[in-house]
A and B are shown apart, each in its own frame.
Chain A
């Protein structure tokens, strides 16, 4: 494997994906869950840019990436708004307290 820009970015995509999923599974704090989701989306954004670059479609990749950034910000805002409500109602941000519904 050569040390090219594309390879470095590809490693970045996989690395962020791994970190994001690990964060989702390991963390118990709602704010950290939202952060983990953000890391996951960053991996997808890098992936889109990389794919566009490798196919010579830089504009396509970049425009898709910008759209994803917008959509993903809205998701983060809603996630954090829910976290605020959870803190108000449950008095804690711990995920374990959030399992009152039966299976």
Chain B
């Protein structure tokens, strides 16, 4: 029963993808039907049933395994977290993208790839061996290359897609070399076997090198700072729904793959945690400073993703280095919130981009100045975008504040001077980030509308639904943060058992 549910959870999004493509091709003459979109939305909604069944059953037993031949999957806390965030965003993005892609060629490919990417991410969260992890990771990456370059007649999208493909592919080669080193040292790719072998090999040079290769390889996808250069281009040039997916779950999926691999190697050395803390500090600073000087809305949001990965790394690094469980749960809570808030921010700015430009067949970037006075004509999009921005900036009644707070509290609990200094640095960064979020909110509510707003078309009704749901979720989690405990707690516990010997 439970293993059936597990199978369905992965099979529904992946298996529906060719059906979506066929449905879209067959009804190409009737674009108003939007059959591809609705098959995609329904299959993603259907995948919620096995997810809820597994999440309920998992509360008692702590994880399920599923094995087909050499493919070894395990639904535990980490898998549940990633599956939950991926399903939530993918469902809403599928609803949103229907109106967004009106009149666009190749809709059926978009939805088919969206479902493939979601299924691959669910599989990635549940991978129990290193090679499996790589295969799911690569499947997700391949789907996302094509989605980034979806507007294949736009030079910018082609450039971003090419950059993304080359950097990611080079990163995945490094992961494979890391896997070779692990096989050489332990003779297995199973994460549990690797971990028990690592306990007896503290400081083994091959495993240290493998860990470094994993951090570099998965770090390209997770946008760790010196490896982030593909991110602003890909996130700003992709269709807005895909920007939301990329920023809300794909970089987090890279992070979770990184944690799985490093978690198995955790007994080798305690330095992984310090390394994550260092990279986290760099991510926060560089992300914020680069976001400050952006004039395009989507590029600014893309750079702010870098700093949010930094906050997550701060929490996770505290967990790895000092074995504070709150660090892990705080980091994962921030991952969930970033998925919701950044997803919301990209969808809301995408809705405005659609009404101001794309619906008039113009493909130009949405500038911050274009949004002046948008609140009058587009109250829902402007209001939800403001909630997302203020939540990302960490204003108290919103969920972004709660997760940052949890990470900071975990930092103080280590009673280590350097970590406390780092927490203060993170808090200052959070204040710095308001310097680019607040002016955008101010622009939205200005009196005189910009020329773009005056010429804008009305917003399709269906676009409002995902925006309002995400904004509601963020407010509710901000007021009752303990509601997220059922999904972040088990994920933190999984990593805790890996790092404590």
Contacts and interface: CB of A to CB of B under 8 A. Distances in A.
Contacts of B184: 50-51, 54-55
Contact of A44 (B149, B161, B176): B176
A71 B156 contact: no
B244 interface: no
B135 A67 contact: yes
A57 B185 CA distance: 12
A59 B287 CA distance: 44
A57 B177 contact: no
A26 interface: no
B187 A41 contact: no
Looking at B142, B184, B187, which has the most chain A CB atoms within 10 Å of its CB?
A: B184
Contacts of A48: 176, 179-180, 183
A64 B142 contact: no
A48 B176 CA distance: 7
Contact of B162 (A13, A21, A75, A82): A82
Contacts of A50: 180, 184
Interface string A37-73: 1001101110110111011110011011001100110
B155 A82 contact: no
B189 A60 contact: yes
A7 interface: no
Contacts of B156: 100-101
B399 interface: no
B348 interface: no
B146 A101 contact: no
Interface string B51-71: 000000000000000000010
Interface in B83-140: 131, 135, 138-139
A64 B180 CA distance: 10
Interface string B170-195: 10010011011101100111000000
Interface in A65-96: 67-68, 71-72, 74-75, 78-79, 82-83, 85-86, 89-90
Contacts of B131: 64, 67
A89 B153 contact: yes
Q: Identify which of A17, A20, A44, A54 gathers the most chain B CB atoms within 10 Å of its CB.
A: A44
Given A55-B184, A78-B145, A24 B159 contact: no
Interface in A1-44: 13, 17, 20-21, 24, 30, 33, 37, 40-41, 43-44
Interface in B145-160: 145-146, 149, 152-153, 155-156, 158-160
Nearest to B164: A82
Contact of B173 (A30, A41, A90, A99): A41
Interface residues of B, number: 38
Contacts of A57: 183, 187-188
The winner among B155, B173, B183 for most chain A CB atoms within 10 A is: B173
B166 A43 contact: no
Contacts of B70: 63
B199 interface: no
Given A24-B170, A44-B176, A51 B181 contact: yes
Contacts of A47: 176-177, 180
Contacts of B177: 13, 17, 43-44, 47
Contacts of A67: 131, 135
A78 B176 contact: no
A27 to B, nearest CB: 11
Nearest to B149: A82
A71 B138 contact: yes
Contacts of B152: 85
A63 B189 CA distance: 12
A20 B170 CA distance: 9
A37 B183 CA distance: 23
Interface in B381-404: none
A24 to B, nearest CB: 6
Nearest to B155: A89
Among A41, A48, A56, the one with the most B-chain Cβ atoms within 10 Å of its Cβ is A48
A99 B159 CA distance: 7
A82 B165 CA distance: 10
A89 B183 CA distance: 45
A13 B156 CA distance: 35
B176 A86 contact: no
A20 B176 CA distance: 15
Contacts of A55: 183-184, 187
B410 to A, nearest CB: 35
Contacts of A45: 176
Contacts of B233: 101
B429 interface: no
A68 B176 contact: yes
B180 A75 contact: no
B145 A33 contact: no
B179 A64 contact: yes
Contact of B158 (A24, A37, A89): A89
21 contacts: A17-B173, A24-B166, A40-B169, A40-B173, A41-B176, A48-B180, A50-B180, A51-B184, A54-B184, A55-B183, A60-B189, A78-B146, A79-B165, A82-B161, A82-B162, A85-B152, A85-B158, A86-B158, A86-B162, A89-B153, A90-B158
Given A48-B183, A51-B183, A85-B158, 7 more contacts: A17-B173, A20-B173, A41-B173, A44-B180, A55-B187, A98-B163, A100-B156
6 closest cross-chain pairs (CB), A and B: A44-B176, A47-B180, A51-B183, A51-B180, A51-B184, A55-B187
